[in-house]
């Protein structure tokens, strides 16, 4: 590894000021993505600005409308937090499927999103929960949608110095039930496909009042499967309709082939996951 300057500001404003004054510097969170790339020589930042000592970025709070999770919260803290389990259980479920305990203790929620990998496991739950990303930039604080945050592989839709400060999650729709599914080659691997689903069933337990679906690792960013959602909304979930949704899901994603899987296999897994998610959520509804 090349030597580099290392800074540990104690406020987000100080981090922002440092970043804009140090050309070629990078923010560092848990380092589980960035330090690997530096060690491999893929990245050579002039300086690292650690965000880990900034208390305001590490809090998990309830708000008038839901939850505010500091971007620097380690994944294991997020998954263990009672309010997250009560109000955003889907996010906790996805984190439980990630890496190993050592990585989850270091890696942060913000780092997983800012790394902008199409297979980031925390992204599909946050897309279906319609979470917002709170950003601090030179013009002050603003918030953006998840699709505006993650705009391409490794591509953040932020200004060069902007900091992701928190994730804002509103209460899910009343009665919504969620599921997260992930397919890997081996244990502790990145997803070759992941999927989050959040569905509200009508009182008859068999009609889909509304559904949100998001698949990862099947396009340049996590993808909301909007056509599939529209095909199910307001309709009775018969085996025929679920089979149609499976096919539509497989046809609506744009995966690539890489070392983890071929494009066609990824399409098939996406379809199978949509079918499995709907079936499981109907069963959960029936058991409730």
Ligand X SMILES: Cc1cc2nc3c(=O)[nH]c(=O)nc-3n(C[C@H](O)[C@H](O)[C@H](O)COP(=O)(O)OP(=O)(O)OC[C@H]3O[C@@H](n4cnc5c(N)ncnc54)[C@H](O)[C@@H]3O)c2cc1C
Which residues of the shown chain bind ligand X in the complex (CB under 6 A)?
26-34, 36, 51, 71, 98-99, 103, 107-108, 110-112, 114-115, 120-121, 163-164, 188, 190
Q: Which two tokens stand for residue 268?
A: 């098939």
Q: Which CB sits closer to ligand X, 27 or 179?
A: 27
**Minimum gap (Å) between residue 70 Cβ and ligand X:** 9
3-state percent helix, strand, coil for the chain, nearest multiple of 5: 35, 25, 35
Contact status, residue 234 vs residue 244, Cβ threshold 8 Å: no
Could you tell me the smallest distance in angstroms from the CB atom of residue 227 to ligand X? 26
Looking at the Cβ atoms of 28 and 169, the one nearer to ligand X is 28
CA distance 210 to 187: 33
User: At its nearest, how many Å lie between ligand X and the CB of residue 29?
Assistant: 3
Minimum gap (Å) between residue 32 Cβ and ligand X = 3
What residue number has its CB nearest to ligand X? 111
d(CA 30, CA 70): 13
Query: Looking at beta carbons only, is 58 or 246 nearer to ligand X?
Result: 58
Place of tokens 């998840």: 146
Least distance to ligand X from the beta carbon of 26, Å? 5
Least separation in angstroms between residue 83's CB and ligand X is: 20
**178 or 285, CB closer to ligand X?**
178
DSSP state of 55: G
Tokens found for residue 18: 């440092």
How many whole angstroms separate alpha carbon 56 and alpha carbon 79?
19
Copy the structure tokens of residue 99: 């890496």
Q: Which of 19, 177 has the CB closer to ligand X?
A: 19
Distance between CA atoms of residues 196 and 89, nearest Å: 11
Beta carbons of 196 and 179 less than 8 angstroms apart = yes
**Helix (H/G/I), strand (E/B), else coil: 11:** coil
Give the residue ranges of DSSP H helices in 68-108.
75-80, 82-87, 89-96, 101-106
Task: Pick between residue 36 and residue 230 the one whose CB is nearest to ligand X.
Answer: 36
> Which of residues 52 and 247 has its CB atom nearest to ligand X in the complex?
52
Structure tokens at 26: 């990078």
Work out how close the CB of 67 gets to ligand X at its nearest, in angstroms, rounded to a whole number: 17
Minimum Å distance from CB 159 to ligand X? 10
Instruction: Determine the Cα–Cα distance for residues 129 and 220; give it in Å rounded to an integer.
Output: 20
Main-chain phi, psi angles of 224, to 5 degrees: -75, 130
Nearer to ligand X, 106 or 252 (CB): 106
Task: Tell me the HSE value of 106 on the side-chain side, using a 13 A CA sphere.
Answer: 12
């Amino acid at each position: 590894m090349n030597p580099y300057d290392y800074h540990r500001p104690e406020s987000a404003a100080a981090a922002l000021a440092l970043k804009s004054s140090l050309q070629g510097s990078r923010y560092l969170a848990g380092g589980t993505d960035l330090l690997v790339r530096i060690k491999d020589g893929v990245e050579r930042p002039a300086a690292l600005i650690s965000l880990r000592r900034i208390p305001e970025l590490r809090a998990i709070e309830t708000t008038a409308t839901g939850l505010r999770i500091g971007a620097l919260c380690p994944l294991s803290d997020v998954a263990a937090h009672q309010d997250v389990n009560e109000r955003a259980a889907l996010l906790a479920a996805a984190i439980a499927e990630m890496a190993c305990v050592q990585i989850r203790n270091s890696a942060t929620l913000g780092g997983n999103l800012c790394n902008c990998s199409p297979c980031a496991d925390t992204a599909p739950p946050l897309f279906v929960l319609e979470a917002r990303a709170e950003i601090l930039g030179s013009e002050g604080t603003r918030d953006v949608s998840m699709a505006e945050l993650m705009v391409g592989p490794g591509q953040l839709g932020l200004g060069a110095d902007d900091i992701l400060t928190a994730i804002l999650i509103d209460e899910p729709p009343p009665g919504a039930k969620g599921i997260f599914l992930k397919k890997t080659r081996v244990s502790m691997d990145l997803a070759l496909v992941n999927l989050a689903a959040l569905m509200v069933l009508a009182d008859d337990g068999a009609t889909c009042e509304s559904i949100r679906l998001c698949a990862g690792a099947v396009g340049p960013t996590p993808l909301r499967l909007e056509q599939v959602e529209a095909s199910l909304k307001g309709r009775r979930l018969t085996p025929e309709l679920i089979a149609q949704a499976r096919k539509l899901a497989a046809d609506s994603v744009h995966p690539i082939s890489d070392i983890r899987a071929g494009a066609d296999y990824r399409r098939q897994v996406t379809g199978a996951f949509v079918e499995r998610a709907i079936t499981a959520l109907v069963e959960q509804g029936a058991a409730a």
